[in-house]
Amino acid sequence: MTVLTVAEHRRGELRDVSLELLTAGRELADATGGELHTAVVGGDVEAFAERLDREGVDAIHTVDEGEEFNHDVYTQVVHQLADAVDADLLVVPNSVNGLDYAPAVASRLDWPLVTDVVDLSYDDELTATRELYGSKVETTIDVHADRAAVTVRPAEWPAAEGTGDATVDAFDADVDESAVRSTVTGFEEVGGGEVDITDADVLVSVGRGIEEEENLNLIFDLAEALDATVSASRPLIDNGWLAKDRQVGQSGKVVTPDVYIAIGISGAVQHVAGMKGSDTIVAINTDPNAPIFDIADYGIQDDLFEVVPALIEEFQ
């Protein structure tokens, strides 16, 4: 089996999911004795290829077409690439961009498409796992086809590591310019967000256990002591206590910091879906049965109003 992943970049930055796709793709290639190919379309393709050359990657295909994502360009290029490398499985991010072009490519290839996948396996045929009903239920889908396309949810696989020795080739795509009916002319920030929690190395995340809005000062003091960023679960956002751009979870943002400190957060599945990819999870909660302790690396069962001031004193 030949697995082809497609990297994603925005505004000159390779997105983390691009390296996560390599891990997912390598697992499938290993299960079938096949090869892992990855492609990057547009932007600084040489720099992106260098970052994508991780252990386990057999070939990297660069396509020098434009600077930013374009539906019409990606649809044509990825379709041609899949044919050129004789791909059996196409793996792309379950992102705004990925969900834009993946259905069009799958349609052109006449392949089935499974979206928002959180696990993949192969035993004579491809099996994809998806989550439904706010991540309360998992369902497995057996793909009865020799070839298929999937979109993978970010933060479900670890990023590929190590240094590879992949072959790198420039793919000369035959793009029909008359079929390119749109172009990116610029970017505009929406909503004037306070912070980008997806870039934080350390997140101090707070939930309804904080009780009152004025108690948030305690959380911001801890974040300052740790040189961290404050995030929150949905109830605090719904209350209007913090801005929407600080929300972690299925209806907020997916984060993968080095350290995630969950304070007064019970650990509902919708919240966990947005932070379970964190390297180290620390939970502070009075309830010993809180689900957050099931995924935490370290847990403190105690009153946050006792624990947080002690932590501030220690780290200051």
- The closest alpha carbon to 7, from 47, 28, 29, belongs to 47
Which pLDDT does position 140 carry in this prediction? 97
Share of the chain above pLDDT 70, in %: 98
Asked whether 105 and 149 are in contact (CB, 8 A), the reply is yes
Q: In the structure, what pLDDT confidence band is assigned to residue 193 with cuts at 50, 70 and 90?
A: low
| Fold entry, domain 197-314 | Rossmann fold (3.40.50)
Give the tens place of pLDDT for each residue, 196-210. Answer: 899 899 999 999 999
Quickly list DSSP for 100-114: HHHHHHHHHHT--EE
Give the tens place of pLDDT for each residue, 8-60. Answer: 999 899 999 999 999 999 999 999 999 999 999 999 999 999 999 999 999 99
- Residue written as tokens 């991010």? 93
Angle in degrees, 0-180, between the axes of helices 216-226 and 304-315, rounded to the nearest 10 = 30
Which pLDDT does position 189 carry in this prediction? 66
189 or 316: which leads in pLDDT: 316
Q: Determine the Cα–Cα distance for residues 231 and 247; give it in Å rounded to an integer.
A: 6
Asked whether 29 and 85 are in contact (CB, 8 A), the reply is no
Give CATH for domain 3-179. 3.40.50.620
The structure's pTM equals 0.82
What 3-state DSSP class applies to 205?
Answer: strand
Give the tens place of pLDDT for each residue, 280-304. Answer: 999 999 999 999 999 999 999 999 9
Q: Determine the Cα–Cα distance for residues 129 and 42; give it in Å rounded to an integer.
A: 31
Q: Determine the Cα–Cα distance for residues 106 and 56; give it in Å rounded to an integer.
A: 25
Q: Determine the Cα–Cα distance for residues 262 and 239; give it in Å rounded to an integer.
A: 18
- Residue written as tokens 């793909």? 143
Which pLDDT does position 195 carry in this prediction? 86
Angle in degrees, 0-180, between the axes of helices 45-52 and 17-32, rounded to the nearest 10 = 50
Helix (H) or strand (E) holding 46: helix 45-52
> Strand 202-206 relative to strand 229-232: parallel, antiparallel, unpaired?
parallel
117-125's contacts with Cβ under 8 Å and 24+ in sequence apart are 117/150, 117/151, 117/152, 117/153, 117/156, 118/152, 118/153, 118/156, 119/156, 120/24, 120/27, 120/28, 120/150, 120/152, 121/31, 122/1, 122/28, 122/31, 122/32, 123/31
Asked whether 42 and 67 are in contact (CB, 8 A), the reply is yes
Q: In the structure, what pLDDT confidence band is assigned to residue 190 with cuts at 50, 70 and 90?
A: low
Give the tens place of pLDDT for each residue, 66-105. Answer: 999 999 999 999 999 999 999 999 999 999 999 999 999 9
Backbone angles phi, psi at 32, to 5 degrees: -120, 0
Asked whether 274 and 197 are in contact (CB, 8 A), the reply is no
Domains 3-179 and 197-314 fall in the same CATH topology = yes
Residue 188 token pair: 């505009």
209-216's contacts with Cβ under 8 Å and 24+ in sequence apart are 209/263, 209/264, 209/265, 209/266, 209/285, 209/286, 209/304, 210/236, 210/263, 210/264, 210/304, 213/239, 213/241, 215/305, 216/241, 216/242
**What are the extents of the domains in the chain?**
3-179, 197-314
Which pLDDT does position 46 carry in this prediction? 97
Which pLDDT does position 137 carry in this prediction? 87
- The closest alpha carbon to 182, from 70, 314, 101, 316, belongs to 70
